[in-house]
Structure 1
Amino acid sequence: MTDNGLPTWEITDWRTGELIKGGTGSYEAYDAAAVQLAPDCKWIHIDNVDDELTEVEVAGVPASLANALQDWIGSAGTPDEDVAAFVGWSVAEVARHREEA
């Protein structure tokens, strides 16, 4: 709450903690900011985020191959450039995701 009694609100990136938008006012003000930032309204509330990793099975990919790929991608000896070429990401994206892991 602010000194004038209005609630304050923030929209943050849950992974980085980066403040995306903040303000003062009603729920309608918050909602308007959220719609402005993402007109398709594809937001996920932090209470619905699960930090626990789950194993994913991809149809047609044998578990042994999936495990080998996971080991290869996770290996410090595998260059970001190789992973980027394999998965179709930029080298910067691969580096960022590997740092977060």
Structure 2
Amino acid sequence: MSALSCRGGCAACCTAPSIASPIPGMPHGKPAGMPCVQLDDQLRCRLFGRPERPAFCASLRPSADMCGASRSEAMALLSALELATQPDAASPPSVGAT
């Protein structure tokens, strides 16, 4: 399979996931489902290639599993992944064996 390129005007990976680390303009990170404040009018990252860009963002690579065939599919896939990787608030904390 050939490598995918980012889809222009998409920014699903800058919107769907939460980002725990600080981002310029978002000192407490970014909640899931909220567009990053660093997106410009064309939905491109203003921090791309800059040291201020969070490691999480720099680690993302376009893939069929993440991007799907459209922006709406990418949003659905990434939103499902966000939900699947959230800590389960109903689960008790792990306790070491005594």
TM-score w.r.t. length of structure 2: 0.28
Q: Which has the higher helix share?
A: 1
Larger radius of gyration: 1
Higher strand share: 1
Relative contact order higher in (CA < 8 Å, ≥ 6 apart): 2
